[in-house]
Amino acid sequence: MAVRVEGFRAAGVHCGLKKEGARDLALIVSDRPAAAAGMFTRNRFPGAPVIVSKRHLRGRVARAVVVNSRISNVGTGEGGIADAREMARAVAGEIGARASEVQVASTGVIGWRLPMDKILDGIPTAVARLSPTGWTRAARAIMTTDTRPKLAHASSRGGTLVGIAKGAGMIEPDMATMLCYLATDLAVEPAFLRAALREAVEPTLNALTIDGETSTSDTTVLLANGARGNRPITAGSARAGELRRMLGDVLGALTEKLARDGEGVTKLADVVVRGARSDAAARRVALRIAGSALVKTALFGGDPNWGRVVQALGDAGVPFRPAEVGVTFGGVEMLRHGQPVEDPGALKRAERAMRRSRIEIAVSIGRGAGSARVLTTDLSYEYVRINAEYTT
């Protein structure tokens, strides 16, 4: 049974950007103004839709989201800004909203202008196809190099939350933008909506590293339209936990789907760092290890290569004492007090653990209380094949 969120309809249609009739224009519409919160790329060369959507979000209200795939509208100057605005205006006109109530995104090739005639023709088509069960079609329409649509949802006693996302491939990284749109039929007070989104994104989308690149278009937007008629949830509400849990579940599931669909990915690893002086220091170390091409190729090769882990650790810019460092792979201790564990069975057990599709690499760097967890993927492919076959 397809997921529904009260008061929301979604569509994904073909407007002529992708080949062979593939869906390339997504639309999400709320039947009433929804509280809206968003997080955008920190890249200093952002795409035009990011600039326009951030401006629109100042009102903290949205009625709709429109996204095209195939062309990103990045590096297109003032003309690109005008195009993004026109997309918003066209949707607003069709559904009877203000342009500032429309969130816009484009994902795909950088530097091309959008063929606005196709998009403007496609918008009324998308509006006509809006359906309460249109989420998978919308998820499909925002795909670029993704091999499958990414959709997750959660329900509570009083409401439902749905999310769609697109990745984060490594192969055609011009198109590696991460987009994520979330919608709930609960009423949520705007300040708490914003806080809850940030809090939920930190350990999920913001704790995933695939190729270390920050796209010019990364966007996450959450709409709460209150169609269930509840009193708006605030940070102090008894129901605050309900929203937090649903957001955590949906974003966690989408993050795993994004990671698994990274091109060529065969394995995931949770990099867990403990014993740092602060959570921030632990996170810095975890991101450095998770982003290391050497660690990722070892992961692909199933090699519990603690040497690569400590090499990355040593390069993270965080102080530690080598004699206090420990490393485990899938729970098997390989390095203790900065020295290899002298147990011939440990290597075998660690190698066995590395065969799982998701493993944990835990690094202890001292006696501090700071810890962090980051999700990463392996690096496969021929160039990496040789790297991975080289074994300690």
In terms of CB distance, is 35 or 318 closer to a second copy? 318
297 is catalytic: no
CA dihedral 60→66→68→69, nearest 10 degrees, is 60
3-state secondary structure of 362: strand
In terms of CB distance, is 72 or 103 closer to a second copy? 72
Q: Give CA–CA dist 327/335, Å, rounded.
A: 5
Residue 280 has a CB neighbour count (10 Å cut-off) of 12
DSSP state of 113: P
Least distance from a second copy to the Cβ atom of residue 68, Å: 17
C-beta separation of 360 from 330 below 8 A: yes
Least distance from a second copy to the Cβ atom of residue 72, Å: 8
Least distance from a second copy to the Cβ atom of residue 142, Å: 19
Q: Which residue among 177, 184, 219, 377 is the active-site one? A: 177
In terms of CB distance, is 95 or 313 closer to a second copy? 313
Least distance from a second copy to the Cβ atom of residue 340, Å: 5
C-beta separation of 11 from 112 below 8 A: no
- C-alpha distances out from residue 319 to 207, 297, 308, 338, 365, Å: 22, 26, 18, 14, 9
List, in sequence order, every beta strand (DSSP E) within 84-128: 102-109
Q: Which residues bind a second copy (CB under 8 A)?
A: 42-46, 74-77, 109-112, 170-174, 211-216, 263-264, 292-294, 297, 305-308, 310-316, 318-320, 322-323, 325, 335, 337-340, 379-387, 390, 392
371, containing H or E segment: strand 370-377
In terms of CB distance, is 79 or 229 closer to a second copy? 79
Least distance from a second copy to the Cβ atom of residue 289, Å: 12
The catalytic residues are: 177
